[in-house]
Amino acid sequence: MALLVALHILAAVVWVGGMFFAYMVLRQSAAPLAPETRFSLWRRVFGRFFPWVWASIVLLLISGYSMMFLHFGGFVGAGRHIQIMQGIGIVMMLLFLHLFFGPWRRFGHAVEREAFHEAAKELGQIRSIVATNLVLGILTVLVGASGRFW
């Protein structure tokens, strides 16, 4: 159980921490750059970060459902905070899937074609989804950390 909890927390820290860094630090730092440079930077950053998000999602699902069935005896035995954490996590994963297969793909193609107006539009959508997922991720961390004390 200790290993499953550790892996679950590590995966959440990687995903939520990466979003926090991208949204709160890198976004403002990259804003003054010329569009060509800024879009190229974001393409490289997300290109390196998204494989970590995929790994985090896989690890969260494996560790979360392993704990759910091995420790809590299934969905019925899990506390309300576990149910809330699971629900928010699934929404976050669905938002990431949309981001990855929609705006992220279109952003990459726009950057390749040097269609910077289109790239800016897609980056704006990515930014909105990341902001939403960041809020949901922080909420999930708070629920997961404090829920057993409710």
Residues 102-124 as b or e (16 or more Cβ within 10 Å = b): ebbebbbebbeeeebeebeebbe
Measured on CA atoms in the order 145, 148, 149, 150, is the torsion positive or negative?
positive
Query: Mean pLDDT for each consecutive 10-residue tract of the chain (150 residues)?
Result: 94 98 96 94 97 98 94 86 94 98 98 95 97 98 91
pLDDT number for residue 131 = 98
Kindly report the pTM of this predicted structure: 0.92
125, 100 Cβ separation under 8 angstroms: no
60, 89 Cβ separation under 8 angstroms: yes
Q: For residues 5 and 118, what is the distance between their CA atoms, to the nearest angstrom?
A: 42
Residues counted in the chain: 150
pLDDT number for residue 76 = 86
